[in-house]
Amino acid sequence: MTSDFAAIRWFDEAGEPVSCVEKLKVLAETLEELRQSARDTLEDAILMGCAEMQVREVLRRLVEELENPYRK
């Protein structure tokens, strides 16, 4: 399964579309790097004998626990 991150329509907090091509390109590239890192983590953990469902849950929790450093 492959997502096309470049095709995602991003919106700001006011609901307006983010239209800066460079920003969207950087975001798509960063998400692809994150996907590769998560894939590597999953593969490594499985090879080390960890349960796949537990690894997936830890990755989900990691994303859910991220804090917005720019929150006012």
**Torsion over CA of 71, 37, 10 and 70, rounded to 10 degrees?**
10
Instruction: Write down the pTM of the prediction.
Output: 0.82
Contact 8, 32 (CB under 8 A): no
The residues of the chain scoring below 70 in pLDDT are: 1-3
Three-class DSSP category at 17: strand
Q: State the pLDDT at residue 6.
A: 86
End-to-end CA distance of the chain: 36
Report pLDDT for 65: 97
Q: What pLDDT is attached to residue 71?
A: 86
